[in-house]
């Protein structure tokens, strides 16, 4: 069996003696910069060693069994807070499936969105927003539900499937993937939009305090950049999956694409969670605590601050600069 054919081990297992001679070890991301580290408890203190430095120090190659496991551990820390020896690796790393679940409401919403797309495929006017919210009408109008059933039958013919049940199975599979995106829309995009809106109102409220107004303006600009970054990812996914027949026809590639966006957004939600929780705990009807605004700035600045990148100078080339938002994890 070749290395490529081997399945990754399901648990965090390492063989080098460094991982056993020091007692209990665990793995997490460093609080300062997010670097994957090994943590060893020494009395009442913790020793923290970056995994890359550990590999160099003990000659653990990337292509060795322990090197591959350390790579899986580093990847796993995007999805879990920490790992100890013997812990099961998250399913994102093992199978590509998410280690968390969207709510029943998000599953239902994703299913209805796809049903609506199928309805629009056979009758664009049936889903005309001018006639009312299409999703609500889909649930409440029996005639529309009957048209959806017709759409399933036509889709079976179009896709070369034996019957409508085969189409239903495909739709359920696609909806199962998109439910995670709808959950992340509620867990990440909408809260960030709400924070940005509140910050914009704060800038206006601080008109009499130029120092605080300027500070709030800086935080607001960074939050707007973050919001736009997230919105672009949701828009990219919508553009890719909006043609429902193409999505159903190419389920395997669509699934891989949706999962890649899902995992990107989930990693970002985890990074943002303490900031989101802080703003959620702040009463919208009261003044925002200034320390929350400053904590938000400290979180956003290293991730979304435009940076100047200088091209190395040569005899005949002048340095040039460009502005680009950067994100680090």
Least confident window among 28-37, 232-241, 291-300 = 28-37
Whether residue 321 is predicted with pLDDT greater than 70 in this model: the reply is: no
Kind and range of the H or E run holding 17: none
Residues 140-182 have pLDDT tens digits of 888 888 999 999 999 999 999 999 999 999 999 999 999 999 9
pLDDT at residue number 61? 93
Residues pairing with 28 in the sheet: 37
Counting residues of the chain whose pLDDT is more than 70, the rounded percentage is 91
CB atoms within 10 A of CB 177: 23
Q: 132 pLDDT band (50/70/90 cuts)?
A: confident
Q: What is the pLDDT of residues 41-78, one digit of tens each?
A: 877 788 899 999 999 999 999 999 999 999 999 999 99
pLDDT at 311 over 70: no
| Average pLDDT over all residues of the chain | 88
Residue (of 39, 80, 78) closest to 329 by Cα position: 78
Q: Which residues pair with 49 in a beta bridge?
A: 38
pLDDT at residue 286, rounded to an integer: 82
H-helix or E-strand spanning residue 25: strand 25-29
pLDDT band at 9 (very low <50, low <70, confident <90, very high): confident
- Report helix, strand or coil for 305: coil
pLDDT surpasses 50 at 3: no
Q: Given a cut of 60, is residue 196 above it in pLDDT?
A: yes
Using alpha carbons, list the distances in angstroms from residue 245 to 114, 118, 170, 257, 286.
Answer: 10, 8, 11, 16, 48
Quick check: 315 pLDDT over 70? no
- 28-42, 192-206, 208-222: least confident range: 28-42
Q: What is the pLDDT of residue 102?
A: 97
Indicate if the pLDDT at residue 7 is higher than 80.
Answer: no
pLDDT confidence of residue 312: 52
């Amino acid at each position: 069996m070749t290395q490529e054919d081997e399945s990754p081990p399901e648990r965090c297992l390492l063989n080098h003696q460094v991982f056993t001679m020091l007692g209990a070890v665990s793995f997490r991301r460093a609080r300062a910069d997010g670097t994957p580290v090994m943590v060893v408890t020494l009395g009442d203190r913790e020793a923290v060693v970056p995994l890359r430095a550990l590999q160099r120090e003990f000659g653990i190659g990337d292509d060795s069994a322990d090197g591959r496991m350390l790579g899986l551990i580093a990847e796993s820390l995007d999805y879990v807070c920490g790992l100890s020896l013997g812990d099961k690796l998250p399913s994102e790393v093992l199978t590509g499936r998410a280690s968390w679940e969207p709510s029943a409401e998000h599953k239902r919403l994703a299913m209805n969105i796809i049903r609506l797309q199928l309805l629009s495929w056979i009758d664009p006017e049936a889903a005309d927003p001018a006639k009312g919210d299409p999703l609500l009408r889909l649930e409440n109008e029996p005639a529309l539900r009957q048209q959806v059933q017709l759409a399933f039958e036509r889709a079976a013919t179009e896709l070369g499937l034996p019957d409508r049940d085969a189409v239903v199975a495909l739709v359920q599979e696609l909806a199962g993937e998109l439910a995670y995106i709808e959950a992340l829309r509620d867990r990440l995009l909408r809260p960030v939009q709400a924070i940005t809106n509140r910050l914009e109102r704060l800038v206006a409220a601080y008109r009499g305090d130029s120092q605080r107004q300027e500070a709030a303006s800086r935080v607001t600009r960074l939050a707007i950049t973050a919001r736009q970054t997230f919105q672009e990812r949701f828009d990219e996914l919508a553009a890719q999956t909006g043609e429902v027949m193409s999505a159903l026809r190419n389920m395997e590639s669509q699934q891989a694409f949706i999962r890649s966006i899902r995992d990107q957004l989930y990693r970002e939600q985890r990074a943002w969670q303490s900031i989101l929780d802080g703003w959620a705990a702040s009463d919208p009807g009261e003044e925002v605590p200034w320390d929350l605004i400053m904590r938000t700035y400290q979180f956003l600045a290293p991730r979304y601050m435009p940076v100047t990148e200088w091209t190395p100078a040569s005899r005949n080339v002048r340095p040039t600069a460009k502005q680009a938002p950067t994100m680090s994890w």
